[in-house]
Structure 1
Amino acid sequence: MSSMTSASAQGLLCIMGSGETAPTMVKVHRSLISAVEEARGSQTLYNILDTPYGFQENADELSQRAQEYFQTSLNRRFEVASLRTVSQIGTVDQDSFYDKLTRSSYVFAGPGSPTYALRVWKDLELSSLLSKVLSSRRVVTFSSAAALTLGSYTLPVYEIYKAGEDLRWESGLGLLDKLFGRKIAVVPHYNNQEGGTHDTRYCYMGERRISVLERELPEDAFILGIDEHSGVIFDLKSQSIETVGIGLITIRRAGSSLQITPGTTMPISEFLNLHREEEAKGNLSPVNVANDEDKEVVDLIQRGEPLEEELLRLQGEFEEAIDAGNFLDAAKKILELEGTLKEWETDSLMSDINKRGRAQVRSMILRLGQTSTERVFDPSETIAPYVKFILEEREKARASKNFERSDQIRDLLTSLGIEVQDSPQGTSWSLKDAIVSSTVN
């Protein structure tokens, strides 16, 4: 079909930039599941496609983590529609894959390699199978690597970013072309910041590379950029789109970009033609920033990785509690951090943030133990005024040549575990095994 309006499509297509198994996207999955269950009742089958990461040695673990995420966060059991290698084509594994996919109420695919997935899916007519799923009130959610495959053009991320191959586009599934009659290149991880000192925006391509790649697209094509922990839902029944998550959706063509903030809804036809209407204006600012509340959203999403921000917040609040001597609140911050890291365990693209978070927990526990020991259990601070008074009496005895009295006082303090040291600079004292000492001149 040339466009979705020529068919009786009823489904929901959700494209996510990342965070597909992170706490940030639970609300999005929940709304999609509610929609499909409202339409289909108990006749629901949820499936994860494992093809994009089928080449990885930990493919079983990735499937299990995704299943745990949906079970824990959404109380839904997701099965795995498995087709990991080209060698499975033409076997009973392919038959099982077809059966699960065509009966699915919710089809989910996420991280991995887009070009690897396309090699396996190449001869399966997967776009037709997904179109069939979307012909009724069912859901297809593709994120990260899987999202890259949906358009007419696919970015070979690993080959360019990791292996240094020439800049190019690969042929995609063409599902968006089939549904909307438009040639689109989906680019997730659009606001990626993992590079630190080098530009990894635009799915690790950076501005220089994406500019070159953009010029290689046909004149009527455009880039659909999706920020991390963000997404766009195409409701084929109501012919509308909704932007979800915490980041921006960007339509980029011929060097100009239009940015759409979270919570925006509009007809699909308007969404697909935004770049044509606005490209002459060179409008680079968000099109839905209408009030201070929206501006706060934009400020928030420009700050970076959500978990990174949470680690920084909790570290700051922990330090404040320590400085104030509020050790109970400090302990609560450690527990809160531990709980946050637990929530994020199933995120498929954690990089090293979770490891750093665990190291942060250990550091905070050590800091709390050291500080509380010094401040709460050091008796030197408590007895210092009394010891000072006694040593002043000893100094008076010595000044009056009453050395017997002076020695008695010293022996008394020694019997109490207080060691007295005389020197030309004065008299100092310390508790046996204590950290703090005091000097009386």
Structure 2
Amino acid sequence: MKVSADNIRYNLNHLFQLVFEVTDMCNLRCKYCGYADLYEGYDERENLKFPFQRAKLIIDYLYSLWSKNQCENIVQPILVGFYGGEPLLNVPFIQEVIAYIESLKPVGKVFRYNMTTNAMLLDRYMDFLVEKKFNLLISLDGNKEGQGYRVDVAGHDSFDRVYSNVCLLRERYPEYFKEYVMFNSVLHNKNSVESIYSFIKGTFRKEPIISPLNGSGIRKDKLENFFQTYRNYSESIQEASNCEAFKNELFIRNPETRQLLDYIYQRSENVFISYNELLFPINQSSEITSGTCTPFSKKMFVTVKGKILQCERINHEFALGQVTDSGVELDLEKAAQQHNDYVSRYARQCKSCGHRKACVQCVYQIDDIHEATSLCRSYCSDGQIKQADARSLVYLDQHPELYRRILKEVSVRG
């Protein structure tokens, strides 16, 4: 479905998350980092810090939109995120941004803050993070062996320092730790899903977010290194010491259960994203949809160099605008056209794809997107989808208790 400038303006008015790349500096040199040698498509790292005045220009731009479109008695939450590099290397910027936001007159928004951190400097700044009730996502790949790729500038292991800082946070602020702290872990050949889950759940009583290495944007000369480091998520679960018990504990983090959840979600026709969709159902049978987010429907990401993107996960070449010392340059008509041009390249494939009603593929994650013969890597025929559905039903027949658990325990949040 084509988007228009008005669609993007609506998204900006109802923005869920504004994320600043606080700095491109980092005090670790993780071997698999998305900004390291394995990958391409990002701006060169130059040890920069985001200038506060440019952040102020972005906030003022959005604030002006929100002021003009404020609805009386309606308050919408918005997350202000701080990303890196390592964001705790530029805490003065974060403090200035928050102080400025909190100095503004209310415009129907309630601001909350989040951050992804490697926790190397957590002991210095935890008081501030707790005071502002940051939702904190800590990067930790499990035990000391699993943390082996997260090394400092000198090549030293980071585990002892990170572990000590996380334990200190839990000791000083147990209620905050319980409510606001989560863990993110990267799966690779030095750990496993079981070792990560067992360590973090057993030590901190938290269920980590576990992700395999990103398979998009790999440098061609680094493919061998990538595959040496990569570990498949599903295969790692199968290697668990007690596979069935571990799958039961993982629940929807187990890919087979997740596939069953998706089957129920897609086929029940009783799931609604919003009240509007429930009350005013839209016939989308003729629409060709993509898993690519429309610009700013989920977030706005601003790089340390001022590029404005819809997400931190896509190459910087796909920027929709920029903020400079002179102001915000964001042409909504041009942004809509750029989005439509890239998505439309796959329209013919979308029409015959079995995933067309529930696509999750972002076109910006297709490595050869600029090639005339580019193919969507998530394309499935209707026959393949039917086979996947059949596998889900077989799995449900083998594990009938999952139907009740999915209905009772899974919350779908926007």
Both proteins in one fold, TM over 0.5: no
Between structures 1 and 2, the one with greater helix share: 1
TM-score by length of 2: 0.31
TM-score (norm 1): 0.30
- Return the structure number with greater strand share: 1
